[in-house]
């Protein structure tokens, strides 16, 4: 039986992960901002689900809650999952929403990971799973600030994974494509009317509003794939891509990026110092 610590567990991937872990017999410390969302699971699994109210933008609270989790015993896996979705033309996004996006998805995730490291080091290792998105490697118009946070946390995790590997700590980024959760319904949509109404921002906005945006991913199957990848004793990939839409989109983006890079080899070499 493993002990998992999961942020943002009230819905979506966090809820589905908590549900499947409890069903298979693990223990979970689940954090959420909205009280009551996990009461049904707690009743069905007495003694194996600890529910903590937490806003990941409160760094002091993150540190306190994480320290309490480790003080109660070994934590095998820490899952940084809490997220906020903001959609709209970058030019028109209100400053307070920009800050909320960065503070939740980027600074909040960084706070969770940093708070977990002392406990993981002290116990001789463990795993950290960071929920990212296909949006950590590709970008869509209208999601500029969301992508800024996902590309940012991916760079952070790649670097920190190298720093903590000597302590037996493994890290994995999870990159789902569009998945049938409540995330889309919960998107904070900034008005895309005016100059952006007929652009690549306005069109997706209408598709979201009319529920015509194609979504193939299944959250239950996606979580099952995560748990398979996280089987104890297996080596974690740096990134776990979930869903055919994500696989196709990321693959196309990486191939295009590599092709463009290859055309610049002479330019790159020409920027070296003369004595190289």
Q: How many other C-beta atoms are found inside a 10 Å radius of the C-beta of residue 69?
A: 22
Q: Is 276 contained in some domain? A: no
Residue written as tokens 């991913």? 217
pLDDT at 30: 96
Cβ burial, residue 121 (10 Å; 0-12/13-18/19+): middle
Q: Which of 80, 84, 150, 196 is catalytic?
A: 150
Question: The domain spanning residue 155 has which CATH number?
Answer: 3.40.50.720
The confidence score (pLDDT) of residue 145 equals 95
Inside any domain, residue 156: yes
CA distance readout (Å), 228 to 30, 79, 92, 133, 247: 20, 15, 42, 18, 18
| Parallel, antiparallel or unpaired: strands 3-6 and 27-32 | parallel
Q: What gap in Å lies between CA 256 and CA 249, rounded to an integer?
A: 11
Query: Is residue 135 one of the residues assigned to a domain?
Result: yes
Q: What is the pTM (predicted TM-score) of this model?
A: 0.93
Question: Of 109, 146, 196, 222, which is the active-site residue?
Answer: 146
> Would 49 be classed as within a structural domain?
yes
pLDDT for the residue numbered 194: 79
- The yes-or-no answer on residue 150 being catalytic is yes
Q: Residue 258: inside a domain, yes or no?
A: yes
End-to-end CA distance of the chain: 56
Q: pLDDT by residue for the chain (276 residues), tens digit each? A: 899 999 999 888 999 999 999 999 999 999 998 878 899 999 999 999 999 999 999 999 999 999 999 999 999 999 999 888 888 999 999 999 999 999 999 999 999 999 999 999 999 999 999 999 999 999 989 899 999 999 999 999 999 999 999 999 999 999 998 767 655 556 787 876 778 888 878 666 666 666 666 667 789 999 999 999 999 889 999 999 999 999 999 999 999 999 999 999 999 999 999 987
User: 209 in a domain, yes or no?
Assistant: yes
Q: Which domain holds residue 21?
A: 3-270
The torsion defined by the Cα of 164, 166, 168 and 169, in degrees rounded to 10, comes to 10
CA atoms within 13 A on the CB side of 181: 24
Q: Does the residue 275 lie in any domain?
A: no
Q: Does some domain include residue 95?
A: yes
Q: Out of 80, 109, 132, 133, which one is annotated catalytic?
A: 132
User: How many domains is the chain partitioned into structurally?
Assistant: 1
């Amino acid at each position: 039986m493993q002990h998992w610590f999961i942020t943002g567990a009230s819905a979506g991937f966090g809820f589905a992960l908590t549900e499947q872990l409890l069903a298979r017999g693990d223990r979970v410390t689940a954090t959420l901002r909205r009280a009551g969302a996990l009461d049904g699971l707690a009743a069905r699994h007495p003694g194996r689900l600890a529910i903590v109210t937490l806003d990941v933008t409160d760094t002091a609270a993150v540190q306190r809650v994480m320290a309490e989790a480790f003080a109660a015993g070994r934590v095998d896996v820490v899952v940084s999952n809490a997220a906020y979705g903001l959609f709209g033309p970058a030019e028109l996004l209100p400053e307070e929403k920009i800050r909320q996006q960065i503070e939740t998805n980027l600074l909040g995730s960084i706070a969770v990971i940093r708070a977990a490291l002392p406990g993981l080091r002290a116990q001789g290792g463990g795993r950290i799973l960071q929920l990212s998105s296909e949006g950590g490697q590709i970008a869509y118009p209208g999601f500029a600030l969301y992508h800024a946070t996902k590309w940012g946390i991916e760079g952070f995790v790649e670097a920190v994974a190298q720093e903590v590997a000597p302590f037996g700590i493994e890290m994995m980024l999870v990159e789902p494509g569009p998945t049938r959760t409540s995330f889309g319904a919960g998107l904070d949509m900034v008005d895309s009317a005016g100059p952006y109404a007929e652009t690549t921002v306005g069109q997706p906005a209408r598709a979201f509003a009319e529920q015509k945006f194609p979504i193939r991913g299944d959250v239950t199957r996606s979580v099952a794939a995560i748990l398979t990848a996280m089987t104890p004793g297996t080596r974690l990939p740096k990134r776990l891509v979930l869903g055919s839409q994500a696989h196709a989109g990321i693959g196309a983006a990486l191939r295009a990026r590599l092709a463009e890079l290859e055309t610049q080899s002479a330019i790159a070499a020409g920027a070296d110092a003369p004595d190289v």
